[in-house]
Amino acid sequence: MLVLEQLQVEQTIEPITNKPITHDQLVAYAQASGDLNPIHTDEQVAKSVGLPTNIAHGMFVMGQLGQYVNQLAGKEARVEEFRMRFGAMTFPQEQVTCSAIVEKIEGKRVRLNVYASKGPQEVVGNGTAILVFEGVHTHE
């Protein structure tokens, strides 16, 4: 959880690395989201269309990044905005690392640049989040 008074522009926020994506997660996500495209859950179908294996839903990865943003907000802030652009495919057994850098602080509003990456150089999604620090707890 972030504390407004401890943030500085260009500060790198502690990243988190999620557990490897499992086939069971992708099946559950497909059922919950209604995105039943078999390239996400059936390796043979994915290979038949030229993919090396089945791929994670982009929105599944966005969900991991969104969970990270919500953890950063904690009870101190609310997420006013969250946007992500997709950059690369993510495959089962890969781990997504979520990270953020403080871009701007205006009063109680903090704009973060957020990233979902696999490995040190491959960003699979990036975007922005705006947190508004108006929570129950204040550190003034």
Amino acid 135: pLDDT: 66
What residues pair up with 16 in beta bridges, in sequence order?
A: 98
Per-residue pLDDT tens over the stretch 79-100: 999 999 999 999 999 999 999 9
Exposure of 90 in the CB half-sphere (CA atoms within 13 A): 29
Amino acid 120: pLDDT: 74
* pLDDT band with cut points at 50, 70 and 90 for residue 119: confident
